[in-house]
Amino acid sequence: MSAFGLPATRAARSSKIPDVVHDAVIRFNEKFQQRQEQIGYLNANKDLHDLLHHLQDLQGLIKSTVAAIHRPSGEPPDMDGIIDPLTVWVVQGQESVKKTEFPKEHKLWITDFSKAVNDLRAELSKSDTATIEVPKLDRAIEILANLPAQEQRSLNTELVKCATRLKTDELVGLIDRILIELGKAGVVGAETHDLRAGVGSFRISCRALTDLIDEHNLCQEVDGALREADGLPEVAADRLSQWAEIKGWLQEIAKHHPGSLPDDIRAKRPFESAREFEEACAAVDKARAKNRFQRLKERFGDLFLNTDTALLRITQELLASAQTLDATLRRFQ
């Protein structure tokens, strides 16, 4: 019996499922089983992303609570509304980096996060506000406020690395074999319906993840190349050593979105700005060139942020579909 409850011999299999389908499922399951460690790592990465988003959402409440403490009169604010979720997130963050292969820098920021929460709790818990160490409190608040912006990008990089190691193209190929054999067999019933739905949903998530990884990698290339312009008193296309590559990458990203949805427009606009910037440079219109380059950076920044957001969303969908598929394979007997 496999880890997912698949029978080890043909004699134990349901007569409703042809042997060729069983064989295709077993081959897929072997590879799927090998990915479980990476799927767990992907899930831990998602949990850390969620932690940072929650922390960002809590900033307003932290500021208003601290401001209320310093008011001369009135009811003391509810500290539990801040301390309780922060305490839970510290535990979750520590568990996430403990059970995975996260680089040292991620474990370090979780340590900084834990210390800031402890310091915040210690100061906010003082019954006499006059004894609060303001510098210590301010430093804890500063750390908590800056962590999301500081750590999000490196977490995205880890997410891409992990997702790449899933080798979703191989899994998609094995899924396609299952679907082909199911189609040939022409077997109908709840068992085959669940199998078809489970592998089909997982396939969609795998393909979407692969496409977003490709787009993210292109965005990473553009981002690095555009940084050459930082500090230049005047930016021109012929002063950027990778300008031709930048245009090519942006054009490739635009082609990945052939439709007319908002995300497609978002993907096309940076390339449009790049073309307008180049035209302004060729016309020696410095004011227009400066304006169009600034617009290029703004539009590309919006695209890159949206790509990161979509990557996390697809990761969540893949994790959910992996759980459903796991349950389906357990019942596949």
Domain boundary among 158, 187, 208: 158
Predicted pLDDT of residue 115: 96
pLDDT, tens only, 267-288? 999 999 999 999 999 999 999 9
Q: Do residues 277 and 218 share a domain?
A: yes
Q: Do residues 104 and 253 share a domain?
A: no
pLDDT under 70: residue ranges of the chain: 1-17, 72-77, 100, 187-190, 257-263, 331-333
Q: Do residues 114 and 241 share a domain?
A: no
Q: For the chain, how many structural domains are there in total? A: 2
Let me know if residue 54 belongs to a domain.
yes
Rg (Cα) of the chain, in Å, rounded? 26
Predicted pLDDT of residue 79: 81
Predicted pLDDT of residue 299: 95
Predicted pLDDT of residue 72: 62
Let me know if residue 283 belongs to a domain.
yes
Judge contact between 102 and 123, C-beta under 8 A.
no
Domain boundary among 103, 127, 158: 158
Q: Do residues 154 and 174 share a domain?
A: no
Let me know if residue 311 belongs to a domain.
yes
Let me know if residue 3 belongs to a domain.
no
Domain boundary among 98, 131, 158: 158
CA-to-CA distance for 177 and 175, rounded, in angstroms? Answer: 5
CA-to-CA distance for 160 and 52, rounded, in angstroms? Answer: 17
Let me know if residue 25 belongs to a domain.
no
Let me know if residue 165 belongs to a domain.
no
- The long-range contacts involving 152-156, CB below 8 angstroms and separated by at least 24 positions, are 152/49, 152/52, 152/308, 153/308, 154/105, 154/106, 155/45, 155/48, 155/49, 155/52, 155/106, 156/216, 156/308, 156/311, 156/312
Let me know if residue 143 belongs to a domain.
yes
Judge contact between 209 and 159, C-beta under 8 A.
no
Q: Do residues 318 and 178 share a domain?
A: yes
The pair of structure tokens assigned to 254 is 């635009």
Q: Do residues 262 and 326 share a domain?
A: yes
Q: Do residues 188 and 257 share a domain?
A: yes
Residues of the domain holding 44: 37-158
